[in-house]
Each structure stands twice: as C-alpha cells, then as structure tokens.
Amino acid sequence: MIIKPKYKGFICLTAHPEGCYKNVEDFAKLATSKPLDEDNAPKNVLVLGGSTGYGLASRITATFAAKANTMSVAFERPSTGKRTATTGYYNDAAVTKLAKLHGLNDVSLNGDAFSDEMKAEVIKAWNKAYPGEKIDLVVYSLASPKRKDPKDGELYSSVIKPVGEAYTNKTVDFHSGVVTDVTIEPAAGEEVDATIKVMGGEDWKLWIDALLGADLLSDDVITVAYSYIGPEITHAIYKDGTIGLAKNHLLATSELLNDELSKKGGRAFVSVNKALVTQSSAAIPVVPLYISLLYKVMKEDGSHEDTLDQMLRLFHDKLYSDINDVRDLNNPIRIDDLEMEDEIQAKVDALWKTANSDNIEEISDLVGYRKEFFSLFGFGRDDVDYELDVEEF
C-alpha cells in the first residue's frame, strides 16, 4: 500500500511506519548525545502514555539519555490489513526495537491504562521483564477524551469548554489558513465533573496506590504528571476552562501523593510544559493559532523547543540536576518559562491582535505547524520515499 496522509480536521487517519521509525530514531540519537550523569539518573521508569507527544519524549529521554529500563502503556491500534496502525503503535515498536539495538531495555504495553486489568498487567509484566528492580520514576502523560471508571464501569467524556460564560476568540483552520471567530458555549456542571474524572488526578493516584501495593516503587521514587497554564488569551478555554479545572485536580493530587511518598524519601510533581503540536493540543480550539504565532516568535528568538528538548531539560535541569536537589524543587515545576517570558508573550499578543486570513501565513509559523502536525504521523520527511509501496504496515 502507498501510504499518504488522510486527514479530517485535527485527526490524521493514517500513519507511515518508516516515517515514525525515523522520527523516533532522530529523537533517540539526540537523547543519546545528551546523557545524564550515571549517579543521578533514573534506573527504572514507567511511562503512562509513552507512545506519542510528551510521554514519548519522556520515555526516549529515560531510555536513551538515562539508559534506564523502561516500560510504557499506551492506547494504540494495530493495522488491520486495510488500515495503517496508529502513529503511537509504530512509535512503540520503534522505541523497543531501537532500545534493543543499543543494548537497552524497553517494553511497550497496549491497552486501557484507566482499567484495573492494565494495572495488574503492568505489575506482572514489570516483574517478568525487570525482576527485583523497583521503579524510581513514574511519568503520567495520559491525554484522553474518555475514561471508564474501573469501580462502577461508568464512561466519562472530557470536554474542552469555558466555565461560567461563553468565550469568543479567533481560531485558525491550520490546513486552509482561514482565521475565524469561534464562540464556545460554557460547560454544563456535569461536563466539568466528567472532565475532572478523565483528565484530573484520580487515575494517577490509583496507579501509585497499585504500584505501592505491589511493592514496586523505590523509596526515593519520583512521579511527575504534565500540565499547561499558558497566557491570558487562552485562559478562558484552558486554564480557567474545564481542562484547567482538571489540571487543578491533578496538582492537588500531586500534593497528596507527595505527602505520602515523601515519608520514605519520594516526591510527586506536576510539570508545567510548553504548548506544542501534539494530537491532543491540535484538538483544542484557539490553541493552534496561538501555537503557530508562538512558534514564529520563539523560532526567531532562538528559544523554540520541541517535546524532546523540553523533556531533556526537565530531566537534566530539574529532576536529576547536579546543581539542585530534587527535594528542594518547588511544585509545580515550570519548564514553560521560555514560552511565558514577557517579551515573547508581548510579541505573540501583538501578532494575535492583527491576525487574519490574509496575513496569517506571513505573520505566523503556520507552515511549521502543519509540517509538525503531519510529522507526528511520520509524514513530510525528506529521507522517506512516500511513493514506495509499503508491504508491511
């Protein structure tokens, strides 16, 4: 089959196995070139949501920069013979294969991380793959539209909506470059609760409880989950919206977990990361326009980072820094500092005010946004021949 991008809005229905492999290979090379100090690096790492985006970058940092034993859980679909697999499925295979080639250890598990069954499967698989080894870093990087509560089987759906009142702002169709005003009606009360159920900290705590119960966590374990704050222009839809309330719950959970884990020397954090193109962020209205303006400003400033740059900085400068003791770190950790600099934000703000369909290609990095979006699915690489028939996919 000749595999081309097939997309609908912010969803790409196809993925290219060779392109995904090469993407992971590039990340692995870069991570290998930035090793962590052996005495101050995680040894055994579990990444929940390690197949794409920030979770994938965390896992690649752990595997190739820290040389840790890694295990990832993700929810991905294999190919069906007519349809390609999801990009995360190919990424999973690529990390495990590249780890093996470098004499390192990585295991990919595929299934619903919210379920009790997957928690039991991970405990079993960990003991089998890494017998006697305790996990010293748990990364929680799930981003999902739905969660089935394992207690009562109820299915909750998250929504990305403002809370209290309707919100109107500019948004862009990143394929066509058409800038329009979008109005998003406020969430109903039960939608707020459901979003907190899906994207808050309840499942993170269930994971830590399950791993503690199985005696799989080291005394000095670190656990980190990811969040976003962003500038004023996105507050109504993000920080003060349904997703922001879920992230507040995540932060409150980190404090609860920290109280528990710190008794033996462990720590729990939320890390506030930079806005970047991922499958999840592409789905949030208004955010793609903000990201395309931000990319333009940060690339010109020379301070742009991708998911791997961010995770390398999180590991090197924060969690496993030679300068600061992790126990002295404030929670939340901020690695969105460069994005949030006043000068950067003032420039983005000025561009935001003038952005329209006529000038968007010129004043923003929409070209870079599109390229990165398709690159998430393995497309747009110069070293892959996309006209070639792919026999195994």
- Residues interacting with ligand NAD, by CB under 6 A? 49-55, 73-76, 88, 112-114, 141-144, 226-228, 273, 275-276, 278-281
Tokens for 215, please give them: 């005696």
The least CB distance from residue 111 to ligand NAD, in Å, is: 7
What number of helices (H) and strands (E) belong to the chain?
Answer: 13, 13
Name which of 74 and 135 has its Cβ closer to ligand NAD: 74
The least CB distance from residue 59 to ligand NAD, in Å, is: 9
Name which of 210 and 215 has its Cβ closer to ligand NAD: 210
CB 194 within 8 A of CB 154: no
DSSP per residue, 363-389: HS-HHHHHHHHHHTTT-S-TTS-TTSP
Name which of 124 and 327 has its Cβ closer to ligand NAD: 124
- Given CA atoms 123, 127, 132, 138 in this order, what sign does their dihedral have? negative
CA-to-CA separations, 326 to 211, 220, 273, in angstroms, rounded: 21, 10, 18
Name which of 17 and 50 has its Cβ closer to ligand NAD: 50
The least CB distance from residue 23 to ligand NAD, in Å, is: 13
Round the CA-based radius of gyration of the chain to a whole number and report it.
20
Q: Which residues are within 8 A (CB) of 310 and not within 5 positions of it... i.e. 6 or more apart?
A: 54, 57, 273, 274, 276, 335
Catalytic residue among 238, 295, 320, 369: 238
Name which of 67 and 239 has its Cβ closer to ligand NAD: 239
The least CB distance from residue 223 to ligand NAD, in Å, is: 13
Q: Which residues are within 8 A (CB) of 342 and not within 5 positions of it... i.e. 6 or more apart?
A: none
Residue with nearest beta carbon to ligand NAD: 53
**Catalytic residue flag (residue 156):** no
The least CB distance from residue 384 to ligand NAD, in Å, is: 21
| Three-class SS state of 19 | helix
Cα(192)–Cα(172) distance, integer angstroms: 25
Burial class (CB in 10 A: 0-12, 13-18, 19+), 117: exposed
Residues marked as catalytic: 238
